[in-house]
Homo-oligomer: A and B are copies of this chain.
Amino acid sequence: MYSIGDLSRQTGVKVPTIRYYEQMGLLEAAGRTEGNQRRYDAAHRDRLAFIKHARDLGFTLEAVRELLDLSGHPERPCTHADEIAARQLDIVRDKIARLQRLESELSRMVGTCHGDHVRDCYVIRSLANHEMCSTDH
């Protein structure tokens, strides 16, 4: 039996976040001690590790909820889980592409401050003037 702090240390999920997940119905409410403190078992820990892992991968809580639901029904076909992951992959790829465009624009800005004054500053000027951008955003 683990306390909420034990669970937090084992999974890397902060204590208030664990309570938040319980409140959101993602993590089953734990049993309590006589003094009303939560006590968890290994099943709770595994489920929380699953949630943490999925969150680290950028899944929304809504997607995590679906995934958890699926994992509780091993007899169902797994196309749906694959779909969720594929959707998430699309999102991640899109984010990467957009960030790379920003990166190129920002790196052109940085270190190009030759003038001593803001009036000549490339950073400020290129923010004020969208025509200086090569990419669209």
* A interface, CB within 8 angstroms of B: 46, 49-50, 53-54, 56-58, 67, 70-71, 73-79, 81-82, 84-86, 88-89, 92-93, 95-96, 99-100, 102-103, 105-107, 109-111, 113, 115-121, 123-124, 127-128, 130, 137
A54 to B75, CA, bound (A): 50
Residues on the B chain within 8 Å of A96, using CB: 96, 99-100, 103
Residues on the B chain within 8 Å of A115, using CB: 78
Asked if A109 and B85 sit within 8 Å, CB to CB, the answer is yes
Task: Say yes or no: A106-B57 contact (C-beta < 8 A), given A92-B99, A99-B92, A113-B79.
Answer: yes
Asked if B137 and A82 sit within 8 Å, CB to CB, the answer is no
Residues on the B chain within 8 Å of A88, using CB: 106
A100 to B92, CA, bound (A): 8
Residues on the B chain within 8 Å of A84, using CB: 123
Residues on the B chain within 8 Å of A105, using CB: 57
Residues on the B chain within 8 Å of A127, using CB: 50, 53-54, 57, 67, 71
Task: Say yes or no: A67-B117 contact (C-beta < 8 A), given A57-B102, A89-B107, A93-B103.
Answer: no
